[in-house]
Structure 1
Amino acid sequence: MSGGSWARRGLALYLLAWLLLGLLLAGLIVAGAGAGPIAALLFALPLALFYACACGFSAYYLCRAYPLAQRSLWAVLSVFFCGGLGAALLWCAAGSAWAALCALVLPQGAALVITRPFAVIMLGIGMLLYWMTAVAHYLVLEFERTRRAETRALESRLLAQDAELRMLRTQVDPHFLFNSLNSISALTAIDAGRARDMTLQLAGFFRQTLGLEAHRKVFLEEELALLGRFVEIEQVRFGPRLVFEQQVEEGAGSCLLPPMILQPLVENAVKHGIGQRLEGGSIRVCAERAGSLLRIRVENDADPEGGAATAGRGVGLVNVRQRLAAAYGREASVHWARVDDRFRVDLVLPAETERE
């Protein structure tokens, strides 16, 4: 909801509340002063709307000038006692004048007569209504302050995610770019067509990553397409030593996830897994949707003589864990382990299918 729409709706609710108070005041006048219903309504409703404006403006500026967090309690109470007394006296004076005007219009004996006990009651009610208005203004101001703080926190979070994604782009393994350029250079003398294809694939990969936004999630099938470009480039260097497999069950490909959340995992698998084996190996990405959860597994062959730390070293896993925590809190998790000669990373996150 926009700020103007919210303000108009708040003003309408404020005036509606005062109209209800005017009806209540009219009922009290009928019951206590013995006035007719028409005379009571003619007196109470316009007077309530007049006092709504007087209380609204006065209490609003006093609440702005005397914030609770920056002023002493006694100063605030003193100011609002004087303000409430002044506003209530003004209300009583306006009520007396309005009753006199109504007496000129209404039939003889039907008009309301302002007696001293009635004026005292009006004074007390006026002060009470003024203080209630001030409390309502303080609540609205606190709500606005909290909403602004939440907006600033959300903006800071989005900026941090954008900075994190930009940093991730710069951390796309420099060896990957260096080795790709070397492969292109070598292919130009052997197979110019493959060199051109690899150049186009490399350009397409970086063009696609530059178009990503950290706060805008992507579908799993889009993330897998980006991984496919990455692996195709690496396969020019590794040849048949690098095998890439995907197993995506029905419904999983249309789920959303943070952009480039899988790329560091596959990059680690190539660098620390397949790259350390003379015979190469395979990388498999499996995804399934289990009710409200999306489960993704990235596993690869690892060096039999290396430990789990060797297979999973680098900032990739830590980066993925931090990004999932920032995006989903405790609703997402990432775990990794080495099973025999395979290194495995399991991601669990909420299954979302609609972009915000």
Structure 2
Amino acid sequence: MIFFYYQFFHFPIFLAIADGLIYHILFAGVGLGLWYAVRYSQMETNHIGNLLVNHLTAVGITMALVLAFGFYTLSAIPVVKDGYGLMFQSTFIWRVLVGIIQYIIVVLVYYLMMYYLNFIEKMKMEATLKTNMKAAELNVLKSQINPHFLFNSLNSISALALGEPAKARDMIEKLSDFLRFSLSEKPNAIRLFAEEIDNINRYLDIEKIRFGDRLVIVKDLSSKCLDALIPSLILQPLVENAIKHGVSESIGRVEIRITADCFHGFLKMQVENDCEEKPRLNKSGSGIGLQNIKQRLKLVYGRDDLVNIRHEANKFSVILSIPQHDKNDTRYSY
């Protein structure tokens, strides 16, 4: 703008510089206030006619303030006050046009900033909503498992109470320890595999009281997997399912095998049990645990291929693949 005043309107160089600086400083000051006008004028809710009227009013007020203050400021400078009125009149239309263009640019920048801020806010709200929904779904899934397990355990205690009250009392104590630990866990908590195994041992102590020598547990757990991370309470439903369809439906000794290893970025856990040729998985209540695990893993990891069920030659097994995200960990051989 200083160049145009000097080159095309033949302003003295000092006047061109003073005029350009003062008007730009004034416009910048008034322009800061335009942010609030843009911020609180919602394009989504306001009619286009109302927005047009608002901005025409705003640009009129802006130009009036800038031109008035600029004129009186420069007119007060002794060096330029003589003849400045004539110069101002000759460039008035030019000043208005430049001011309108500046107004449009500033307003467009403000609208872009506003939409960017709104977009970021919406993304944060959506992320929070998804997290809350996921936590709510996990709470529902957990509430399905706990009553289901408690129902089975109380049935076992009831069966022992008449014939073997000492075992029933011992089972109640172990059940109390197990539930105290399990119910204190948040539904979306992630913890060490070693801690999950400790909890499984509490559960197996309960079932060993119920089934005695009929239940044989074989564990083959790689030591490098003990500090792997898994969703809390994810393994207990598998072991419960294996016992239900292995020991509960057999009159002889049944072996439950729990294995775990880490490779290719996954913790691979397998629970295998001896079973009849065609396991009755459709029996009422029997599908809650496995279905629950599938849904929980899908919610936590966003994948539906982490549970693999196999039935071969009187052996029924469920394999879980738990992603491990630390690619710098050499245990997983990426």
TM-score range, shorter chain: 0.7 to 0.9
- Whether the 8 Å contact between 1:85 and 1:127 is mirrored in structure 2 is no
For residues 101-250 of structure 1, the aligned pairs below 5 Å read 101-103=72-74, 108-109=79-80, 114=88, 115-116=91-92, 117-172=94-149, 174-183=151-160, 186-188=163-165, 192=166, 196-250=169-223
Q: Which amino acid aligns with 1:148?
A: M
For residues 20-169 of structure 1, the aligned pairs below 5 Å read 29-34=1-6, 40-53=20-33, 55-63=34-42, 66-67=43-44, 75-76=47-48, 78-103=49-74, 108-109=79-80, 114=88, 115-116=91-92, 117-169=94-146
Q: Which amino acid aligns with 1:265?
A: L
Q: Once superposed, which parts of structure 1, at least 4 consecutive aligned residues long, lie more than 6 Å away?
A: 110-113
- Whether the 8 Å contact between 1:256 and 1:352 is mirrored in structure 2 is no
CA distance in 1, matches of 2:252, 2:282: 18
For residues 272-311 of structure 1, the aligned pairs below 5 Å read 272-303=245-276, 305-307=277-279, 309=281
After TM superposition, the score normalised by the length of structure 2 is: 0.81
Secondary structure, counterpart of 1:330 in structure 2: coil
CA distance in 1, matches of 2:105, 2:134: 43
Alignment-derived partner of residue 239 in structure 2: 266
CA distance in 1, matches of 2:65, 2:16: 20
Alignment-derived partner of residue 257 in structure 1: 230
- Report the count of equivalent residues: 311
What is the RMSD computed on CA atoms of the aligned residues?
A: 3.0
- Whether the 8 Å contact between 1:283 and 1:299 is mirrored in structure 2 is yes
- Whether the 8 Å contact between 2:145 and 2:289 is mirrored in structure 1 is no
Q: C-alpha deviations, 1:3-26, integer Å up to 9, x for none?
A: xxxxxxxxxxxxxxxxxxxxxxxx
Q: Which amino acid aligns with 2:138?
A: Q
CA distance in 2, matches of 1:144, 1:162: 27
- Cα deviation for residue 332 of structure 1 reads 5.0
- Cα deviation for residue 241 of structure 1 reads 1.5
Alignment-derived partner of residue 19 in structure 1: none
- Whether the 8 Å contact between 2:145 and 2:288 is mirrored in structure 1 is no
Cα 1:246–1:208 shift into 2, 3 Å: same
CA distance in 1, matches of 2:114, 2:205: 62
Secondary structure, counterpart of 2:247 in structure 1: helix
Q: Which amino acid aligns with 1:30?
A: I
Alignment-derived partner of residue 323 in structure 2: 350
Q: Which amino acid aligns with 2:133?
A: S
- More divergent stretch after superposition (108-117 vs 317-326): 108-117
Gaps of 5+ in 2: 7-14, 327-334
Cα 1:172–1:141 shift into 2, 3 Å: same
- Cα deviation for residue 167 of structure 1 reads 2.0
- Whether the 8 Å contact between 2:218 and 2:256 is mirrored in structure 1 is yes
Gaps of 5+ in 1: 1-28
